[in-house]
Structure 1
């Protein structure tokens, strides 16, 4: 029996495992949907690549997810890929419901009480024309301190294989360096009281960031707003699945890099079994199931 369109999976992709934070929010908002997640870890980090390279990967992955997994919608769970390629992908796939990410500046504008908002993200995101337009549209409303965090997303990827109780980690050192470079955090006059997490990876170092900025600073991330927007698009297109999935595995996690890294991240952050994970070969993204997790 042919699969109905509303029963098809939602595609989700990121340059690595950081987009699992968005997938977590999507699963909470859309419990009856199937998902195919692809981590392009062999080509990460996107934030330190050029726009043309990121756009090419985004187009290749979109085609792969459509042709091999017959996705009904796509969530680009990567700020850098959204900035570099979202408009091109929409033009190439006008029939595909598509959701991208952007740093949560507008919600931060509504949340701040001191009028000073911090933004952390990859250099690729924060130097993009898309981000510049977003920032310019809010010029004069509040003060924004923008901090590129070179190497942090990649360090978070590597940290998956490290013991969680390691005394001193690369991610902690990088968080400390970049947060201290931004100035004073808190609720006092002129202090940064709202921090925008402009990369999906950063959600997974919230404890480290919280220890540095204190208990009163608002954190703004994009997982839940993206999940709500995805629901709205599916409802509008008549593609929302309202019955629990049966038969095939409701979630598949794929990576162009080492499957062990994805497996560790899925188990640590989403409590998903190793059997959900597989590797895909690059650059053609042909499926290659992992022989072991």
Structure 2
């Protein structure tokens, strides 16, 4: 079994990519919806949640764990790997490397939660993979919460997104990195705003390829999917259809509330 987790529904974009890449794998998706979003929270809080969830998934016999959250990866993936040395752990990092490589203007932007924007892990990604490229790190407070509530079309939010995109485009960014898995579900809103001027960079497929490389025996199963949440598990199933992932419902074998994780 492969365990995949996020603070909420954002990691469903990664789940979908993994499900397409590994159709026979049994998958467990855990949403820490009792504590969503992680973005404004302290590193210590996020680390505690990541370790608790990681140990829970290990106890469920997951042979591979995917941290489908940029914020959790930045704050705690190394800690989780140290705590579970016998289980491969795949994290999600902003696509700075492919964006820098593809940029013609030599200027890119990273859309991120507050926690990811200030993280040393993102700073190191930029140092290691964006040499000679100007990187604009753009915190996007509240965006993950908007995706959680699927409140994406209010005039206020659309105006906020349009203004932010225009400012980044006017600054010369030609690659816009989606630095939070929740932001994948903003693509229908973002894509028309940047069309012809910049590309959106999402890493869900790259994460799925890495999971495929490391899955081993965990890739073999009956293709089942279990949805788990620390609050409101029924909303996970409802979100599949709402986010265009209704096909995943065919793999579902149930929903569970995990009050003690």
Please point out which of 31, 36, 45 is paired with 1:39: 31
The answer for the alignment partner of 1:179 in structure 2 is 165
Q: Aligned with 2:219: secondary structure?
A: coil
Matched, 1:212 2:188: no
CA–CA separation in structure 1 for the residues paired with 2:158 and 2:145: 13
Q: Aligned with 1:44: secondary structure?
A: coil
Cα pair distance change 1:46/1:109, threshold 3 Å? same
Q: Aligned with 2:4: secondary structure?
A: strand
The answer for the alignment partner of 2:106 in structure 1 is 115
CA–CA separation in structure 2 for the residues paired with 1:11 and 1:113: 38
| Residue 240 of structure 1: how far off its partner (Å) | 5.1
Tell me if structure 1 keeps the 8 A contact 2:169–2:194: no
Cα pair distance change 1:169/1:253, threshold 3 Å? farther
Tell me if structure 2 keeps the 8 A contact 1:152–1:174: no
Unaligned runs of 5+ in 2: none
CA–CA separation in structure 2 for the residues paired with 1:99 and 1:281: 23
Q: Give the number of aligned pairs.
A: 258
CA–CA separation in structure 1 for the residues paired with 2:95 and 2:135: 12
| Residue 112 of structure 1: how far off its partner (Å) | 1.0
| Residue 263 of structure 1: how far off its partner (Å) | 2.0
**Per-residue CA distance 1:29-53 (angstroms, 9 max, x = gap):** 1111110000111101101100000
The answer for the alignment partner of 2:19 in structure 1 is 27
Unaligned runs of 5+ in 1: 1-8, 185-189, 286-293
**Per-residue CA distance 1:11-66 (angstroms, 9 max, x = gap):** 00001000000011101111111100001111011011000000000000011111
Tell me if structure 2 keeps the 8 A contact 1:58–1:81: yes
Cα pair distance change 1:74/1:198, threshold 3 Å? same
Q: Aligned with 1:41: secondary structure?
A: coil
The answer for the alignment partner of 1:241 in structure 2 is 219
CA–CA separation in structure 1 for the residues paired with 2:161 and 2:236: 22
Matched, 1:53 2:45: yes
Please point out which of 253, 263, 287 is paired with 2:227: 253
Matched, 1:144 2:135: yes
Which is greater in Rg?
Answer: 1
Greater shift in the superposed pair: 115-124 or 212-221: 212-221
Q: TM-score, normalised by structure 1?
A: 0.82
**Per-residue CA distance 1:166-207 (angstroms, 9 max, x = gap):** 5x35653442243234342xxxxx722111000001111101
CA–CA separation in structure 1 for the residues paired with 2:169 and 2:240: 34
Q: TM-score, normalised by structure 2?
A: 0.91
Please point out which of 62, 86, 91 is paired with 1:95: 86
Please point out which of 266, 287, 290 is paired with 2:240: 266
Matched, 1:230 2:211: yes
Cα pair distance change 1:80/1:228, threshold 3 Å? same
The answer for the alignment partner of 2:176 in structure 1 is 195
Tell me if structure 2 keeps the 8 A contact 1:25–1:223: yes
Q: Aligned with 1:75: secondary structure?
A: strand
CA–CA separation in structure 1 for the residues paired with 2:229 and 2:158: 26
| Residue 93 of structure 1: how far off its partner (Å) | 0.6
The answer for the alignment partner of 2:258 in structure 1 is 281
